[in-house]
């Protein structure tokens, strides 16, 4: 099995050597031999919330962050092989302000910064 889509948006490599490719139809993990595809499953709260992957980032702790189109920010749990997703909440000023994540990065203090398409840059606090 190959990539889930010919429309790739982003790529990163984690500390274990896996290549992660974000596409318009899911997140693809390549181990050097084959692909595993992660997609939204409405019946599974630990799945991605969107199949459109806008950006990927592997932080200094080795955590993979997944920014999606209208599905928020997801953190990959490699022990459980699933995701925890942070979504926007207009009633919580400490939450994400937008579910359309455009970029993710980390500063020298190891803080995660999230750029959204409509509400700018956000210092993320998990």
Q: Which DSSP string do the residues of 7-63 spell out, in sequence order?
A: -EEEEEE-TT--EEEEETTEEEEE-SS-EEEE-B-TT-TTSBS-S-EEEEEE-TTS-
Domain that holds residue 35: 8-124
Residue 97 pLDDT class (50, 70, 90 cuts): confident
pLDDT higher than threshold 90 for residue 1: no
Which letter does DSSP use for residue 126 in this model? -
What's the burial of 44, exposed, middle or buried (CB within 10 Å: 0-12/13-18/19+)? Answer: exposed
61 domain-assigned: yes
Number of domains, the chain: 1
Determine how many CB atoms are found less than 10 A away from the CB of residue 24: 15
pLDDT of the residue at 42: 95
Q: pLDDT tens digits, residue range 5-50?
A: 777 889 999 999 999 999 999 999 999 999 999 999 999 999 999 9
CATH number at residue 67: 2.130.10.10
In a domain, residue 117? The reply is yes
Q: Is the pLDDT confidence value at 126 over 70? A: no
Question: Does residue 3 belong to any structural domain of this protein?
Answer: no
């Amino acid at each position: 099995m190959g990539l889930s889509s010919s429309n790739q948006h982003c790529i990163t490599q984690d500390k274990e050597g896996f290549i992660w490719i974000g596409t318009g139809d899911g997140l693809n993990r390549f181990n050097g031999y084959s692909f595993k595809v992660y997609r939204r499953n409405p019946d599974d709260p630990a799945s991605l919330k969107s199949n459109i992957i806008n950006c990927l980032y592997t932080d200094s702790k080795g955590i993979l962050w997944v920014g999606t189109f209208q599905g928020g920010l997801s953190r990959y749990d490699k022990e459980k092989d699933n995701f925890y997703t942070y979504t926007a909440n207009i009633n919580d000023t400490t939450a994400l302000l937008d579910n359309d994540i455009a970029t993710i990065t980390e500063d020298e203090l190891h803080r995660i910064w999230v750029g959204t398409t409509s509400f700018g840059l956000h210092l993320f606090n998990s």
